[in-house]
Copies of this chain bind each other. A is one copy, B any other.
């Protein structure tokens, strides 16, 4: 039986433990929802104050040049690149995940229209994050001409679903609900064998698990900076395109920041070469600037160390829940195999929603996803082993005492 003292000993030995000091976490809270909104880097407040008071307030319009706002999307992309196995000059941080998906998915279909115009099917999973499916649906409806979306219900169905008609295989690397992680290299290889292009959503991967897009041979990727990368609420998303494909086609959201010579103010669009053609409009700068503070913390460690701790945390959580809460029929939906697991763990419970509400009321913040899924994120930059122990004790007490049955925990309001 793992004891709290054992968990404290793990914290004492944890080489990543000092990084927690770079986050401002509230007292009395065990935060297991960094997979939804990452915690605040201490430095983010000061960075925002500098942008607002100094760069906006005093620099005013001059700051587009003097404070480097102009190429901020690219400079931050350069710093993020190594976390996903990309090179500098291949990533931009801009717009939202949904918008970036529209751009790269459109581009992938255009590349296929040049090379293999009969390929008009986008293959994805019915359990993919909904906005990804909505964007693909919106795009195929817009294009008409036989473009369509084909959804599989489990990863095992992918080989049969990818065929001669397939243009793109669009998958989220780590499933938002179950925490299942695809084998990026194997699925990309399968995709390419079938003549399709591979598009990865890294929303639950970037900063959470090691990703090597170039080694995997991926074609397109998008992802989120407000989860494991701790960029701030709703902070801008990223886009990466394989250099081999980037300049082959334009993407349709052709705004002025993607123009080869933005300030010539030409009436006709000429795309930049490289990933800059995936920029579109003027970005909310204060939010964008804070993304840097999250990235700076990652530069003090490496993804192998983070992965080691992440797996230790999720292993510990699974073990403790299965011991402490054994009587309550929780069902693990996250894979036990390390190579199929991201950095969050989900359990099913018929009263999952109310249990999560009761946990939050006790200061243990996880979240709920339909149907019945209680989701707990483990962020090795700031989650402690002893917090995992404490969280499970609280969960056990809530289940033992049926605290979740109290009326206030049954009232539905949703969390993002």
Contacts and interface: CB of A to CB of B under 8 A. Distances in A.
A286 to B, nearest CB: 5
Q: How many identical subunits does the complex contain? A: 2
Interface in A220-278: 226, 232-237, 250-256, 258-259, 262-269
Contacts of A60: 26, 29, 31, 33, 37, 39, 365
A414 interface: yes
B26 A58 contact: yes
A281 interface: yes
A19 interface: no
A393 interface: no
A96 B280 contact: yes
Contacts of A99: 95, 99, 253, 255, 280-281
Interface residues of A, number: 93
A24 to B, nearest CB: 5
A374 B131 CA distance: 44
Contact of A286 (B31, B98, B141, B232): B232
B64 A283 contact: no
A21 interface: no
Contacts of A263: 370, 414-416
A139 interface: yes
A258 B251 CA distance: 22
A130 B365 contact: no
A152 to B, nearest CB: 12
Given A138-B254, A263-B415, 11 more contacts: A26-B60, A39-B60, A133-B268, A133-B269, A138-B253, A142-B143, A233-B286, A263-B414, A284-B284, A286-B287, A286-B290
